[in-house]
């Protein structure tokens, strides 16, 4: 039995026993379904996307209030002009709720998601509170009393008035949402989403518009919350501000975190546990203490503390590890490759690819790059060398759009690139690696390399959710695997990237850059940490790429490696170019010798 089988069996068991479950259990399950929906959005947003929100309850409120207003207000009835039969009003409410949520979330997201660190969660608290008080103070939404008299949902003439009737709709919506989110994560777009948490600089360099993706994840989570709110309103048949206060917003976050913030099913686990524990505590504590009061909140807080102390990643990973003893692993279903990927015709050898014109970078008083001029042509290996701190990595960031030069101009295949984001560089044909490797450590080598091919796919979020991207996805993964094998890491394609030696992780970065089919390749210390034979293999690969017409700019400390491989060498010292020429010329240049030997007579090897 695999995990998928077990999931299907559990769903079938719940469906078959639904009619016989006690009223109370049915109600509990319905609430759990509603909470899970919000928590699943938070798993995407917080656990996977790395953006903490305490304010999701506000979006639940928008979903609930929108339908309450449409279904009960005379103004809404007048606006709809009797065109809509009474039974269809809730569906108008749903559309209104989703549209409003979309607009509010997009606006809030565009403003708040620019904030980093603690400011983002603080901001979500701020607007969570504002929206809560807004709902309590709006006269036409009933103020603190709220709105009563909501109709029950009807589907195909069937009234879903009781939780027993509505529950299946709630769970169908939840399972459908989980399925769609699962599909989304298992796609090109999902890989980009996973990079939002810890790999934004990397993802941008691979062509991902991370700011836009962050807003989209935020909107997605908000829409799930609004859907939950709509169902909630028609289950309760009345709405008031209380269930949407900040406490509940915090509780939703707890559900996602306790369940296992990085896992979709963790949302269901967290929602179930917290709903049940709260229910039990509310029951037991007053009897135990002989007094009434909100004691459960206190005990609840202590329990949270304990769980988060013991299970930092939530309970789901622990449960999954334990269950893997009984469950067979999921068979890998490799879709057949049919789609062809966007390709690039490399410019002919000798074409000027990259040009830096008097590029200067100042960090405060420190001049890290001083009017650096350099060119890279198609079909050559150009090495950039210099002692530690000479400004090589800074220069890489200048010419790849990761950072902007203070002065000077950068041109990529004839186009001035100043002020453009690094994803535009990627789009124009630049691939790069980072001195400090930027991989998604828990994801496989294959997935990491596939991020490099992001730009070559076309399918978006909806297509990915509906699995319409499979042919393209197969082509992307096949391309990633091809680059991994080409770089000699075929045996490691399916292991987590973090399990590789650091030197190998650098090679993974090269494979990732190659998956984007670059014309110009920037490698920051690719041979560091490699053993002798691995260095030879890397040199062979780079020679081969040069023969294919790529222009390669390489920063490297291993002088033997550089001298044997490079066609031209530029030497930096204190941010200034002190020499440029063929390896033979540079090796005898007195200024270079001076920089490396520091004017001493000792025969120091030429490595910094």
Residues within the interface to Mg ion (CB under 5 A): 392-393, 435
| Contact partner, 363, from ligand ADP, Mg ion, none, Cβ < 5-8 Å per class | ligand ADP
Residue 363 binds ligand ADP, judged by CB under 6 A: yes
| Contact partner, 368, from ligand ADP, Mg ion, none, Cβ < 5-8 Å per class | ligand ADP
Would you give the binding string for ligand ADP spanning residues 78-117, x where CB under 6 A is met? ----------------------------------------
Q: Which is nearer to ligand ADP, 115 or 608 (CB)?
A: 608
Closest CA to 100 of 65, 68, 132, 76: 65
Closest CA to 154 of 146, 139, 165, 144: 165
| SS3 per-residue string spanning 118-173 | CHHHHHHHHHHHHHHHHHHHCHHHCCCCCECCCCCEEECCEEECCHHHHHHHHHHH
C-alpha triplet 462, 468, 474: angle, nearest 5°: 120
The nearest distance, CB 186 to Mg ion, in angstroms, is 36
Q: Are 181 and 221 in contact (CB under 8 A)?
A: no
Q: Which is nearer to Mg ion, 58 or 374 (CB)?
A: 374
The count of other CB atoms within 10 Å of the CB of residue 596 is 18
Q: Which is nearer to ligand ADP, 243 or 389 (CB)?
A: 389
Distance CA 40, CA 177 (A): 8
The nearest distance, CB 405 to ligand ADP, in angstroms, is 13
Residue 607 binds ligand ADP, judged by CB under 6 A: no
Closest CA to 240 of 132, 397, 111: 132
Q: For residue 570, what is the DSSP state? A: E
The nearest distance, CB 572 to ligand ADP, in angstroms, is 7
| Contact partner, 194, from Mg ion, ligand ADP, none, Cβ < 5-8 Å per class | none
Give the interface size with ligand ADP as a residue count (CB under 6 A): 11
Closest CA to 298 of 313, 314, 286: 286
- DSSP assignments along 244-295, one per residue: GSHHHHHHHHHHHHHHHTT-HHHHHHHHHHHHHHHHHHHHHHHHHHTS-S-H
Residue 432 binds ligand ADP, judged by CB under 6 A: no
Residue that the structure tokens 């309760």 belong to: 236
Distance CA 488, CA 498 (A): 17
Residue 526 binds ligand ADP, judged by CB under 6 A: no
Q: Which is nearer to Mg ion, 262 or 386 (CB)?
A: 386
Task: Give me 41's structure tokens.
Answer: 């959005």
Q: Which is nearer to Mg ion, 3 or 557 (CB)?
A: 557
| Contact partner, 379, from Mg ion, ligand ADP, none, Cβ < 5-8 Å per class | none
| Contact partner, 292, from Mg ion, ligand ADP, none, Cβ < 5-8 Å per class | none
Residue 577 binds ligand ADP, judged by CB under 6 A: no
The length of the chain is 608
Q: Which residue is nearest to Mg ion (CB)?
A: 393
Distance CA 471, CA 532 (A): 40
Q: Which region, judged by CB under 6 A, interacts with ligand ADP, from 106-114, 192-200, 361-369, 471-479? A: 361-369
Buried b (16+ CB within 10 A) or exposed e, 379-414: bbbbbbbbbeebbbbbbbbbbbbbbebeebebbbbe
Distance CA 3, CA 560 (A): 52
Q: Which is nearer to Mg ion, 243 or 529 (CB)?
A: 529
The nearest distance, CB 541 to ligand ADP, in angstroms, is 23
Residue 356 binds ligand ADP, judged by CB under 6 A: no
| Contact partner, 388, from Mg ion, ligand ADP, none, Cβ < 5-8 Å per class | ligand ADP
Distances in Å between the alpha carbon of 246 and those of 58, 107, 222, 234?
Answer: 8, 20, 15, 22
The nearest distance, CB 378 to ligand ADP, in angstroms, is 25
Residue 368 binds ligand ADP, judged by CB under 6 A: yes
The nearest distance, CB 391 to Mg ion, in angstroms, is 8
Would you give the binding string for ligand ADP spanning residues 375-394, x where CB under 6 A is met? -----------x-xxxxxxx
Task: Give me 43's structure tokens.
Answer: 């798993």
Distance of CA 126 to the CA centre of its chain: 24
The nearest distance, CB 441 to ligand ADP, in angstroms, is 23
Task: Give me 486's structure tokens.
Answer: 């080409």
The count of other CB atoms within 10 Å of the CB of residue 204 is 22
Q: Which is nearer to ligand ADP, 370 or 483 (CB)?
A: 370
Q: Which is nearer to ligand ADP, 93 or 405 (CB)?
A: 405
The nearest distance, CB 576 to ligand ADP, in angstroms, is 12
The nearest distance, CB 406 to ligand ADP, in angstroms, is 12
Residue 52 binds ligand ADP, judged by CB under 6 A: no
Q: Which is nearer to Mg ion, 337 or 435 (CB)?
A: 435
Q: Which is nearer to Mg ion, 55 or 391 (CB)?
A: 391
Contacting positions for ligand ADP (CB under 6 A): 363, 366, 368, 386, 388-394
């Amino acid at each position: 039995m695999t995990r998928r089988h077990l999931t299907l069996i559990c769903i079938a068991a719940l469906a078959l026993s639904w009619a016989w479950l006690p009223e109370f259990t049915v109600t509990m399950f319905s609430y759990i379904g509603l909470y899970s929906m919000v928590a699943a959005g938070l798993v995407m947003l917080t656990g996977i996307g790395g953006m903490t929100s305490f304010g999701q309850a506000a979006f639940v409120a928008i979903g609930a209030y929108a339908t309450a207003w449409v279904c009960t207000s005379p103004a809404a009835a007048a606006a709809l002009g009797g065109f809509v039969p009474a039974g269809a009003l809730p569906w108008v409410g749903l559309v209104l709720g989703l549209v409003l949520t979309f607009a509010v979330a997009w606006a809030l997201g565009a403003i708040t998601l620019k904030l980093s660190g603690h400011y983002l969660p603080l901001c979500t608290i701020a607007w969570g509170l504002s929206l809560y008080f807004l709902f309590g103070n709006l006269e036409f939404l009933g103020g603190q009393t709220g709105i009563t008299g909501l109709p029950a949902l009807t589907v195909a003439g069937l009234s879903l008035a009781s939780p027993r009737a509505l529950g299946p709709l709630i769970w169908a919506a939840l399972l459908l949402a989980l399925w769609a989110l699962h599909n989304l994560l298992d796609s090109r777009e999902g890989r980009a989403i996973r990079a939002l948490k810890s790999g934004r600089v990397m993802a941008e360099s691979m062509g991902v518009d991370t700011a836009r993706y962050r807003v989209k994840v935020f909107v997605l989570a908000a829409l799930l919350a609004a859907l939950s709110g709509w169902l909630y309103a028609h289950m309760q048949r009345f709405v008031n501000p209380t269930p949407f206060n900040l406490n509940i917003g915090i509780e939703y976050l707890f559900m996602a975190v306790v369940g296992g913030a990085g896992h979709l099913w963790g949302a269901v686990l967290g929602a179930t546990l917290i709903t049940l524990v709260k229910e039990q505590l509310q029951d037991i504590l007053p009897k135990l203490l002989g007094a009434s009061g909100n004691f459960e909140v206190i005990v609840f807080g202590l329990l949270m503390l304990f769980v988060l102390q013991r299970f930092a990643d939530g309970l789901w990973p622990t449960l999954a590890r334990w269950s893997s003893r009984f469950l067979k692993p999921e068979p890998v279903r490799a879709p057949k490759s049919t789609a062809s990927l966007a390709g690039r015709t490399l410019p002919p050898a000798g074409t000027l690819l990259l040009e830096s014109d008097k590029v200067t970078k100042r960090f405060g008083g420190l001049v890290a790059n001083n009017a650096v001029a350099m060119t890279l042509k198609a079909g050559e290996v150009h090495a950039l060398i210099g002692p530690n701190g000479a400004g090589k990595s800074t220069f890489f960031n200048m010419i790849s759009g990761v950072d902007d030069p203070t002065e000077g101009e950068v041109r990529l295949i004839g186009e001035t690139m100043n002020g453009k984001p690094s994803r535009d560089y990627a789009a124009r044909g630049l691939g790069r690696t980072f001195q400090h490797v930027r991989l998604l450590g828990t994801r496989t080598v294959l997935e990491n390399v596939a991020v490099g091919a992001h730009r070559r796919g076309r399918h978006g979020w909806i297509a990915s959710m509906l699995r319409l991207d499979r042919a393209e996805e197969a082509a992307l993964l096949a391309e990633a695997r091809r680059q991994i094998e080409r770089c000699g890491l075929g045996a490691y394609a399916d292991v987590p990237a973090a399990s590789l030696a650091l030197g190998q992780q650098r090679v993974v970065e090269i494979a990732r850059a190659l998956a984007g089919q670059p014309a110009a390749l920037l490698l920051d210390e690719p041979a560091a940490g490699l053993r002798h034979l691995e260095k030879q293999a890397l040199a062979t690969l780079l020679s081969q790429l040069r023969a294919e017409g790529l222009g390669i700019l390489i920063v490297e400390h291993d002088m033997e490696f550089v001298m044997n491989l490079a066609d031209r060498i530029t030497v930096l010292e204190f941010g200034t170019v002190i020499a440029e020429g063929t390896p033979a010329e540079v090796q005898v240049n007195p200024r270079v010798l001076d920089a490396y030997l520091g004017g001493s007579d000792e025969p120091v090897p030429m490595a910094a």
